Each structure stands twice: as C-alpha cells, then as structure tokens.
C-alpha cells in the first residue's frame, strides 16, 4: 500500500462512524492479486485496483464507495496525478486483450464522476505492475514484467480539448489552441507560423465508421493568432502522431486506423497569409 506523507494506513477502521462492511470490501478489493491502493494528496479519497476488473474510488473518512470504473480485464496499478484531477489505472492482459494504461478524469463532486477514459495507452507486453505520474503530470512512468521502464509523453495531449504552447525554460504558457475534440498529437511547422493538431473521439466510443462522426481531421492553426485556418481529412480513426518534414513542405500523420499518411502541401499553401483572408 502506498500513502501520502503522514496518512494513517489502518487507524481509520477504529473510528466509530466508519461503515465496517464497506471498509472490509475496500480492503479486500485493494489487495487482490497484488493490485494497489493510493490515497489522494490530502488523504480524503482512496483509489483501488483489483482483479475483479474494476477500480474503485472511496471516501476515506466514511469508508463509502464513491464510484466504480469497470474494465474488460483485471485492474492493477493506480495513481492520482498532482492536483488529484486525474488518475492513471493499468489493466492486465486478459482473454486476448493487451495490457493498457487508462487515464481517468476525477471529478471534485462524486455525482459528476464519469467512467470514460480521456486517454488509453497500449504497447507493453505482459503486465504493467506500476504506473505513476511524472513531474507536472507531463509524463506517465510505467514498469512491468517485461523488465522495461517506459516514460510516456503526455505533454501536448489534450484532456480539455486544447493544445498549449509553453516556454520550455520558464514553463510559462504562451499560447492555447482550442478545438472541439480530444487532442492526441501536436506538431509545429519549421517553415511557417502553423500548428497542426490531431486526435478525435476515442475509437471505442465511436458509434459509426463515418470519419465525420469521430472528427479525425488534422486541424491547422495560426501559431500567433491561435485561430483555425484549415484541416486535412483522410483518417477514419483517431490521429495519434504528427510530424513535419524538416523542409516544412509536407507532414505525416499516424492513426488508429493503421495508416501512416504523407501529406504534401501545394506551392500556394506557403503563400497563404491569414491576415488577408
């Protein structure tokens, strides 16, 4: 069990107002098959992962279960982000499913809590035994039975449907590019003041194969004015990677549809000026 500094580990069960049945359920839920328990920073909430294919949020003082996240495979590692507004949960390989890292938004009010993941990361072979947030929540660090420690770059990934440009030295926010879709990838043109954003609705949540439903276009923004200036269609799944050619005359995109697409700009594109539109 991992707790925040100064947090009692078991003294809670001696408080007379605690519902012991709920607390016993919590203890059983949290220790199954080496799954983990993590308190938030002020020790008011607890998140647990278990082999019953769930992760649960608890109120520490009362022992009340606040919410259940359901998965299709056993839950394992859990961790609150700095600020406690996000949680990372790992799930084990199971019945043909690969291991995965799920990021959940944690609502301040339990009545507003939702089950949807804002980000799902896949790739490691075998169980992911531990996953924790890196500095400023910009990375997730995972370790598993494949004996590899991975650092997942979450900087630029949008949990609030935006991309942000930061000064890397002072960590000062410079610009924000707001869109109407989750953002998974961002790239800046080496030639023009253009930023391209890619993402789209999570593939598991899309109810139709029409690319318009999931908003899978690559969207271009003016880097200075922060205004959308165009888009490029083609993918029929979320875009997860973007990169410009060093000469700025083309860019590539990779998506969950299994395609990497190379896009070449027309000569007129480099003469485009948003100020005269």
pLDDT band of residue 242 (cuts 50, 70, 90) is confident
Least confident window among 85-94, 134-143, 148-157, 221-230: 148-157
The pLDDT of residue 237 is above 80: yes
Distance (Å, whole) CA 273 – CA 17: 67
Residue range 21-25: mean pLDDT, rounded: 40
Ranges for all domains in the chain classified under CATH 2.130.10.10: 11-153, 162-276
Edge to edge, what strands does the sheet with 139-144 contain? 128-133, 139-144, 149-153
Distance (Å, whole) CA 39 – CA 61: 12
Considering the domain 162-276, what is its CATH architecture? 7 Propeller (2.130)
The pLDDT of residue 121 is above 70: yes
Distance (Å, whole) CA 90 – CA 66: 20
What is the average pLDDT score of the chain? 77
Distance (Å, whole) CA 238 – CA 256: 6
Rounded (5°) CA angle 74-78-83 = 150
Distance (Å, whole) CA 106 – CA 103: 10
Distance (Å, whole) CA 58 – CA 113: 12
pTM over 0.85: no
Contacts of 253 (CB under 8 A, 6+ apart): 185, 198, 218, 232, 234, 235, 239, 241, 242, 260, 261, 263
Give me the pLDDT at residue 8, please.
Answer: 30
Which residue's entry shows tokens 């809590």?
A: 113
Distance (Å, whole) CA 237 – CA 255: 6
E-strand stretches of 97-227: 100-105, 117-122, 128-133, 139-144, 149-153, 162-166, 173-178, 183-188, 194-199, 218-222
Residue range 131-145: mean pLDDT, rounded: 86
Instruction: Please give the CATH topology (third level) of the domain spanning 11-153.
Output: Methylamine Dehydrogenase; Chain H (2.130.10)
Which residues pair with residue 164 across a beta bridge?
A: 176
For the chain, the distance separating the N- and C-terminal CA atoms, rounded to the nearest angstrom, is 59
Q: Residue 220 in contact with residue 255, Cβ under 8 Å?
A: no
Over residues 186-202, the pLDDT tens digits come to: 889 999 999 999 888 76
- The greatest distance separating any two alpha carbons of the chain, rounded to the nearest whole angstrom, comes to 75
Distance (Å, whole) CA 45 – CA 191: 48
Q: What token pair was written down for 161?
A: 């449907």
């Amino acid at each position: 069990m991992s707790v925040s500094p100064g947090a009692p580990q078991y003294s809670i069960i001696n408080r007379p107002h605690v519902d012991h049945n709920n607390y016993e359920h919590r203890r059983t839920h949290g220790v199954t098959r080496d799954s983990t328990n993590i308190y938030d920073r002020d020790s008011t909430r607890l998140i647990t992962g278990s082999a019953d294919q769930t992760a649960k949020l608890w109120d520490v003082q009362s022992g009340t279960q606040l919410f259940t996240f359901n998965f299709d495979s056993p839950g394992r590692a859990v961790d609150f982000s700095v600020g406690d507004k996000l949680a990372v949960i790992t799930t084990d390989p199971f019945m043909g499913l690969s291991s995965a890292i799920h990021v959940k938004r944690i609502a301040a009010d339990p009545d507003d809590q939702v089950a949807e993941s804002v980000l799902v990361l896949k790739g490691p072979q075998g169980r992911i035994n531990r996953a924790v947030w890196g500095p400023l929540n910009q990375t997730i660090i995972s370790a598993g039975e494949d004996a590899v420690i991975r650092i997942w770059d979450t900087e630029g990934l949008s949990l609030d449907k935006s991309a942000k440009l930061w000064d890397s030295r002072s960590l000062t926010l410079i610009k924000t590019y707001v869109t109407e879709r989750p953002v998974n990838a961002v790239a800046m043109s080496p030639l023009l003041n253009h930023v391209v954003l890619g993402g789209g609705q999570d593939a598991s949540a899309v109810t139709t194969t029409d690319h318009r439903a999931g908003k899978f276009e690559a969207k271009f923004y003016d880097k200075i004015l922060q205004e959308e200036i165009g888009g490029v269609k083609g993918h029929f799944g979320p875009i997860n990677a973007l990169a410009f050619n060093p000469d700025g005359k083309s860019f590539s995109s990779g998506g969950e549809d299994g395609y990497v697409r190379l896009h070449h700009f027309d000569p007129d594109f480099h003469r485009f000026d948003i100020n005269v539109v």
